[in-house]
Each structure stands twice: as structure tokens, then as C-alpha cells.
């Protein structure tokens, strides 16, 4: 992955690994899935537009919460959430 295209806070990454077992370095790979699904995060978009990216990585369908900042993808959450998998499968019925 091109680390120059992504950004995250190291403490938030460590906390995400503890809570969800996923590093933000691994989360980058969801964006490489050609069938990835990008959706607006309407519940958490108060100060800036936020999004979900659901894409297939080695363990399954990973959902990444992110925003765009200074031309980079700023990751602030990632997990194997059931809802993200459901949305992915609805958009990609033949997978």
C-alpha cells in the first residue's frame, strides 16, 4: 500500500487493535477491493463528511470508517462489522 495516501492517529490505531483486532495498516486493503462499497456515515458526520468503506480482505469483509483530510484518507475505525458485510453483499450479490 502507498502509505502516503493514508493517515491515522497511532493511539487510535492501537485502541482499534485492542477493541476490534484490526490494525489501520490492514484496514487500507479494503480500499483495494474492486467491489468495495463506499457509503456516507450520516450518523457521525457533524464536523466533516465521514464515510464507510466495506471491502474484502483476507479474513472477510472489513468495514473502515474514514474521512478525507489534506488529500489523504484519514482512517479512524475498522472492524469486521456485520452491517458492513450485509451492505457489501447487497451491492455484490454474486460474491
CATH number at residue 16: 3.10.450.530
Do 41 and 65 form a contact (C-beta atoms < 8 A)?
yes
- Structurally, the chain folds into a number of domains equal to 1
Check residue 66 and give its pLDDT.
96
Range of the domain at 48: 3-91
Sign of CA dihedral 34, 29, 37, 75: negative
Phi, psi of 68 (to 5 degrees): -100, 125
pTM of the complete model: 0.89
User: Mean pLDDT, to the nearest integer, of 43-57?
Assistant: 87
pLDDT tier for residue 48 given thresholds of 50, 70 and 90 = confident
The predicted pLDDT at position 1 comes to 55
3-state secondary structure 8-68: CCHHHHHHHHHHHCCCHHHHHHHHHCCCCEEEECCCCCCCCCCEEEEEEECCEEEEEEEEE
pLDDT digits over 12-41, tens only? 999 999 999 999 999 999 999 999 999 998
Amino acid at each position: 500500500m502507498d502509505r502516503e495516501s493514508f493517515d491515522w492517529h497511532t493511539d487510535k490505531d492501537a485502541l482499534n487493535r485492542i477493541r476490534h483486532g484490526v490494525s489501520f495498516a490492514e484496514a487500507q486493503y479494503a480500499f483495494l477491493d474492486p467491489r468495495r462499497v463506499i457509503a456516507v456515515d450520516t450518523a457521525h458526520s457533524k464536523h466533516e463528511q465521514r464515510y464507510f468503506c466495506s471491502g474484502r480482505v483476507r479474513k472477510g469483509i472489513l468495514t473502515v470508517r474514514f474521512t478525507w483530510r489534506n488529500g489523504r484518507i484519514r482512517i479512524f475505525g475498522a472492524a469486521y462489522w456485520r452491517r458492513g458485510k450485509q451492505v457489501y453483499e447487497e451491492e455484490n450479490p454474486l460474491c
